[in-house]
Amino acid sequence: MTLLDGKQTAESIKEEIRQELDIITQKGYRKPHLVAILVGNDGASRTYVDSKERNSIALGFNSTVLRLAEETTQDELITIVNNYNNNNDIDGIIVQSPLPKHIDEKLITQTIDPNKDVDGFHDINMGKLAKGDEGFVSATPLGIMMMLKAYNIQTTGKHCVVVGRSNIVGRPMSLLMSSNTEFGNATVTLCHSRTINISDYTKQADILIVALGKPGFITSDMVKPGAVVIDVGITRIDDASRKSGFYLKGDVDFESVKEVASYLTPVPGGVGLMTIAALLSNTFKAYKLHLGL
């Protein structure tokens, strides 16, 4: 089994961006600028946003993180997003979900300028993805495509089973794997919480991508020998013995599946790091588009 190393792969993607950016800024252009908006105090969201900020700065991007109170109104948030939409110095805008219940998340997603929608959640970008047109693709599925490419994992004509149909991961993932592209062209089955006898499908997968949010759900008996297994799950499990008070567990039972898979992503150190690299790549793409580069 070969470990799909998210740390190393993400680093090499970031290094490519860094080198290209160096050349651009040496010509006198400004740096890319990503804005992340966080509303409320969700612990996991705070961690994600902090990580996005750290990684943006480390790459030489400008980063603004707007940390707003839980009580922020929907109208206030819309005004803030529109101000960033109209600000030519801003390339990418992300509004971290989940948002407080009094704010309509769909409406906020649609408020972001599609050309600054580096999360790829806007209907225009989702529509482009569905039709095979160029746009912004959600960072986790994009990061997984980058991982397949980095390891030169052949997908054409293979059977890819995606478990989970979320708008952020499973649905766009199934579109990318079936798209007419070098690391697409797979035959795709999309399984979800209502699939009957799910292991009947997972056992047929040459490439198994799991984004269900159920820790340890995929065990070795559900995996075809030699399959490529991508674990998107990242659940916090309480553990008082750790300083953080938790550890991270994927949707794949790593210990048993590592005995049958040909390639496997670890958790942590796999898909999560690729998500960040893909977000930075989207921001860099938005930046070049805005500057006409």
Active site residues: 52, 96, 119
97 makes contact with ligand GUN (CB under 6 A): yes
**DSSP codes of every residue in 18-48:** HHHHHHHHHTTPPPPEEEEEEES--HHHHHH
Q: Which stretch binds ligand GUN (CB under 6 A): 91-99, 150-158, 171-179, 238-246?
A: 91-99
Beta strands in 15-151 (DSSP E): 33-39, 62-68, 92-95
Least Å from the CB of residue 173 to ligand GUN? 13
Q: Binding to ligand GUN (CB under 6 A): which residues in 121-160?
A: 139
Task: Quickly tell me which residue has 């994009």 as its tokens.
Answer: 142
* Residues whose CB is less than 8 angstroms from the CB of residue 156 and which lie 6 or more positions away in sequence, other chains included: 182, 184, 185, 186
Q: Are strands 246-249 and 235-238 parallel, antiparallel or unpaired?
A: antiparallel
281 lines the binding site for ligand GUN (CB under 6 A): no
Give the three-class secondary structure for 129. Answer: helix
Q: Residue 218: beta bridge partners?
A: 252
Among the listed ranges 92-100, 173-181, 224-232, 280-288, the one in contact with ligand GUN (CB under 6 A) is 92-100
Question: CB under 6 A: which stretch of 82-90, 93-101, 173-181, 281-289 binds ligand GUN?
Answer: 93-101
Q: Does 273 sit near ligand GUN (CB under 6 A)?
A: no
**Residue (4 or 139) nearer to ligand GUN, CB:** 139
Backbone angles phi, psi at 219, to 5 degrees: -105, 170
Stretch that binds ligand GUN, among 65-73, 95-103, 158-166, 235-243 (CB under 6 A): 95-103
Q: Is residue 148 a contact partner of residue 139, using CB atoms and an 8 Å limit?
A: no
Helix or strand (DSSP H, E) at 41: none
Q: Does 51 bind ligand GUN (CB under 6 A)?
A: no
Name the residue number minimizing CB distance to ligand GUN: 97
- Return the structure tokens found at 63: 């980063």
Q: What is the nearest approach in angstroms of ligand GUN to the Cβ of residue 23?
A: 29
Our CB check for ligand GUN shows the closer of 153 and 276 to be 276
Smaller CB distance to ligand GUN: residue 168 or 229? Answer: 168
Which residues fall within 8 angstroms of residue 73, CB to CB, at 6 or more apart?
102, 103
Question: Measured from the CB of residue 284, what is the shortest distance to ligand GUN in angstroms?
Answer: 17
